Structure 1
Amino acid sequence: MKKLIPLLLPVLVAAAFAPAAASAQDLKVALIAGKTGVLEAYAKETETGFMMGLEYLTGGKMEINGRKLKVIVKDDQSKPDLGRTLLAEAYGDDKVDIAVGTSSSGSAIAMLPVALEYKKVLIVEPAVADAITGDKWNRYIFRTARNSTQDAAAAAAVSPAGSYAFLAQDYAFGRDGVKAAKVALAAAGRKTNVVHEEYAPQTATDFTASAQRLFDALKDKPQPRVLSIVWAGPHPMNKIADMKPERYGITLAPNGNILPVLKTWKNFGGTEGTIYYYYAFPKNKMNDWLVAEHTKRYKAPPDMFTAGGFAAASAVVTALTRAGSGDSEKLVAAMEGMEFETPKGKMSFRKEDHQAIQSMYHFRIKKQQKSEWDLLELVREIPASEMPVPVRNKR
């Protein structure tokens, strides 16, 4: 028996230290964003918000359950093929426990099958297309971003009866946005008539022909005549306004946008719309910290996608904390129905499709703007209960 002790001792020592070694392993998160290309501004805001969120939620330690948190950032340039490749690289080569991304709905949709192939969680932020949590969804997909239907339902809640036409980008975000808007307008119970849909390239800069077709479709229809613009990136509203749609009794209805775009809408004082986030609207401790700290560091308040990145960080930290590890099945179990705090307030992942259920905001563009960033006034917060979002996957 004595002869066995020297042989067993190294094994017992190794076993004793194995849990400690495993617990000391880094937790790895990939953040994929379109940092170059048409959605560059969105991606930069998302990254800033994500890193500030991790800082806030870990008390600056960048640790979860005693394990260091490592973030790997990748630029997919809003290209679907590249997004798919980078996510596979993150799961396969970098061995990340969880991934977040991306800016473009087209790229995000291309990434969804990769999450299924590797059986790894992907939190979609900030891509909006309904298909992500709809017919393209799989059980490893969670989304902190709002979807097109949430955008549309919020807009429909403040839209009058009348004649509508849409200008949108010719890719997943634009087409899903218009489809959702039409359904939401019909569901709102007011008499509306959608007379035309116009789709332009994502990088379009000349809207002369598109605008004329929209004007021609609307000009003889019952009033009010509303031209709704569903657009991501550099916004065409000022260019459309320069063509004087008011000649035909047409008013413009923009979707919410980032602060640099909102700053260019001074001439539309009194115009109302809906938005995912505006820094002055939510009243909670987390948003107070984000606004104060972001303004201190960057000399400007946080923007729409800054808040989105922060929300994704909160989902990551909450999930990894609850799961106790980066194991995918434990993460999925922890995240289904999970509530987590964000700068907008509490969100929760719906069990059926993992879409984050959240409130939206009805705004009015201020006629009197007291400072560079004093742009919007709150009409009211629209609770999630007023925005019914159907489950569209095949679960």
Structure 2
Amino acid sequence: MLGKVKIVFAVFAIVLMATIVNYPSPAFSESIKIGMVTSRSGVFQEWGTQELRGLELGLEYATKGTNKILNRKIELIVEDDTSKPDVGVQKAIKLLTETKVDILTGAISSAVAMAIQEKALEYKKPYVISAASADAITGQNFNRYTFRIGRSLRQGSLSGAKYIVDNIGKNIAILAADYAGGRAFVAAYKQDFIANGGKIVVELYAPLTTTDFTPYLQKIKNSGAHALMLFVTGANFTTLLPKQIDELGIYSKMKVATDFADIQFFKSLGMAGVGMVGTCMYYYELFDNPINKWLVERHQRKFNAPPELWAGHSFATGIALVAAIKKAGSVDTEALIKALEGLEFYGPKTRKEKIRIRPEDHQAMQGVPVVQLFKVPGKDYPVPKLLFLPSADQVALPITVPKK
């Protein structure tokens, strides 16, 4: 009888060991959940699509196609903010409370991003931004859970304002979209225009829904400006505004500069835009490095189109997220914050120096390219060519986090 008991116990022990070996604990088999809030509809729909595609490919590149980190599958859950802050907040709360994501990312609109970052603070979850560029995100609105991989507006103005004043003229007219991002853009460029000896002769804001820009453009045309600095965002600003600038003869009266957007914007400018200068954070032919080459080829194969502006930003975010999770060894919030602070990595827009996330304000430090538009055979739009790419040190972005 005792022998039978020993045999039964031995069999039970073998079965138990097999169960332990073949079925890992839930803590190690659960997926890593990344929640993305971006514009799948509304005025930023096209840019939201770019952001989503870039993030997907960034995660693919950084995991070498396995879609796994720490032997755990990545689950990307996407919610539509409809380009509105109140909706973005609702979707972020849903991801945090119902889906229980480990990390938040996304938001094209700075207004949406600033609303979401408050929820990241409330729920104590990391929020890593690709596109939204208002300086307040890593300045006045800073919290320890929010990080930005894309450039801030001030990084662009520090790169572009001096070039415009030195090479185009001192009298500057400004036309921007009337929302948080547009006003933040103007605030950044104004201080750097003035610091370099420029003068703002007219400063105008138009609603995102504007279809007729004539009243604004007439004031600019009569202002005596040497250069018109535009902040363009959303469908109307990137398609209707450039055509109306051309129709009113402003290109021939003054130099037009901007922070360049995507290929559709270049097409909207038409060949009248040849000669324009400005900053351009990403255009797929600007950067000659292996990472960008992979992105361009993979994006073309998967989506039958080259990567656009926000795809470049969010691709870098995908790389940063994978690197941070590996460095942290988990998705524990405190471990991720520690891993992200000071994280260094190469992205598709970098050449020799790595992008570095500054611990003091969680802003990714990087130079912003200054470009000029040229007519290129075979292209039906003016193509940006690099004038110079300042280093992160040359773009000495001030730390504007409020002192405690």
Cα separation, 2, equivalents of 1:291 and 1:143: 23
Structure 1's 212 and 371: CA in aligned 2 closer, same or farther, altered over 3 A?
Answer: closer
Structure 1's 246 and 64: CA in aligned 2 closer, same or farther, altered over 3 A?
Answer: closer
Cα separation, 1, equivalents of 2:147 and 2:19: 36
Cα separation, 1, equivalents of 2:229 and 2:381: 24
Measured after TM superposition, the shift of residue 72 of structure 1 is: 0.2
Query: Residue 255 of structure 2: which of 231, 251, 254 is its match?
Result: 251
Q: Which residue is equivalent to 2:214?
A: 208
Q: Which residue is equivalent to 2:358?
A: 350
Q: Which residue is equivalent to 2:34?
A: 29
| Residue identity matched to 1:344 | K
- Mark the runs of 5 or more structure 1 residues left unpaired by the alignment: 1-5
| Residue identity matched to 1:136 | N
Structure 1's 212 and 280: CA in aligned 2 closer, same or farther, altered over 3 A?
Answer: same
Q: Which residue is equivalent to 1:3?
A: none
How many residue pairs get aligned? The number is 381
Q: Which residue is equivalent to 2:230?
A: 229
Q: Which residue is equivalent to 1:101?
A: 106
Cα separation, 1, equivalents of 2:391 and 2:381: 25
Structure 1's 33 and 357: CA in aligned 2 closer, same or farther, altered over 3 A?
Answer: same
Cα separation, 1, equivalents of 2:313 and 2:381: 19
Contact 1:237–1:254 (CA<8 Å) still a contact in 2? no
Percent identical: 34
> Could you list the per-position Cα deviations for residues 292-350 of structure 1 after superposition, in whole angstroms to 9, with x for gaps in the alignment?
12223333221111111101111111111111111100000111010122111231111
> Could you list the per-position Cα deviations for residues 1-26 of structure 1 after superposition, in whole angstroms to 9, with x for gaps in the alignment?
xxxxx9xx9xx989977974311111
Structure 1's 55 and 186: CA in aligned 2 closer, same or farther, altered over 3 A?
Answer: same
Q: Which residue is equivalent to 1:155?
A: 160
| Residue identity matched to 2:256 | L
Cα separation, 2, equivalents of 1:112 and 1:279: 30
Q: Which residue is equivalent to 2:200?
A: 194
Measured after TM superposition, the shift of residue 362 of structure 1 is: 1.6
Measured after TM superposition, the shift of residue 359 of structure 1 is: 2.2
Measured after TM superposition, the shift of residue 112 of structure 1 is: 1.1
> Could you list the per-position Cα deviations for residues 356-382 of structure 1 after superposition, in whole angstroms to 9, with x for gaps in the alignment?
111221211113333347722222222
| Residue identity matched to 1:251 | K
What SS is found at the alignment partner of 2:385? strand
Query: Does 2:87 correspond to 1:85?
Result: no
Q: Which residue is equivalent to 2:5?
A: none
Cα separation, 2, equivalents of 1:261 and 1:140: 33
Query: Residue 71 of structure 1: which of 69, 76, 88 is its match?
Result: 76
Query: Residue 283 of structure 1: which of 281, 288, 291 is its match?
Result: 288
Query: Does 2:148 correspond to 1:143?
Result: yes
Measured after TM superposition, the shift of residue 272 of structure 1 is: 1.7
Q: Which residue is equivalent to 1:312?
A: 317
Query: Residue 378 of structure 1: which of 363, 367, 386 is its match?
Result: 386
Measured after TM superposition, the shift of residue 241 of structure 1 is: 2.4
Contact 1:268–1:365 (CA<8 Å) still a contact in 2? yes
- Mark the runs of 5 or more structure 2 residues left unpaired by the alignment: 1-8
Query: Residue 246 of structure 2: which of 237, 241, 249 is its match?
Result: 241
Query: Residue 176 of structure 1: which of 171, 180, 184 is its match?
Result: 184
Query: Residue 260 of structure 1: which of 260, 264, 267 is its match?
Result: 264
In terms of mean alpha carbon deviation, does 257-266 or 348-357 score higher? 257-266
Q: Which residue is equivalent to 2:193?
A: 185
Query: Residue 345 of structure 2: which of 305, 322, 340 is its match?
Result: 340
| Residue identity matched to 1:146 | R
| Residue identity matched to 1:362 | V
> Could you list the per-position Cα deviations for residues 202-239 of structure 1 after superposition, in whole angstroms to 9, with x for gaps in the alignment?
121110111122223x22x6xxx111101112321221
Contact 1:229–1:237 (CA<8 Å) still a contact in 2? no
Q: Which residue is equivalent to 2:128?
A: 123
Cα separation, 2, equivalents of 1:366 and 1:329: 48
Query: Does 2:55 correspond to 1:50?
Result: yes
In terms of mean alpha carbon deviation, does 106-115 or 260-269 score higher? 260-269
Cα separation, 1, equivalents of 2:158 and 2:257: 14
Cα separation, 2, equivalents of 1:113 and 1:260: 33
| Residue identity matched to 1:232 | T
Measured after TM superposition, the shift of residue 274 of structure 1 is: 1.4
Question: What is the CA RMSD across the aligned residues, in angstroms?
Answer: 2.4
Structure 1's 267 and 230: CA in aligned 2 closer, same or farther, altered over 3 A?
Answer: same
Q: Which residue is equivalent to 1:328?
A: 333
TM-score by length of 2: 0.89
> Could you list the per-position Cα deviations for residues 31-57 of structure 1 after superposition, in whole angstroms to 9, with x for gaps in the alignment?
110110111111000101110111111
Contact 2:266–2:381 (CA<8 Å) still a contact in 1? no
| Residue identity matched to 1:66 | N
Contact 2:274–2:382 (CA<8 Å) still a contact in 1? no
Cα separation, 1, equivalents of 2:329 and 2:250: 57
Structure 1's 373 and 24: CA in aligned 2 closer, same or farther, altered over 3 A?
Answer: farther
Query: Residue 368 of structure 2: which of 360, 365, 369 is its match?
Result: 360
Structure 1's 88 and 15: CA in aligned 2 closer, same or farther, altered over 3 A?
Answer: farther
In terms of mean alpha carbon deviation, does 320-329 or 297-306 score higher? 297-306
> Could you list the per-position Cα deviations for residues 52-75 of structure 1 after superposition, in whole angstroms to 9, with x for gaps in the alignment?
111111111110010111000100
Structure 1's 268 and 63: CA in aligned 2 closer, same or farther, altered over 3 A?
Answer: same
| Residue identity matched to 2:187 | K
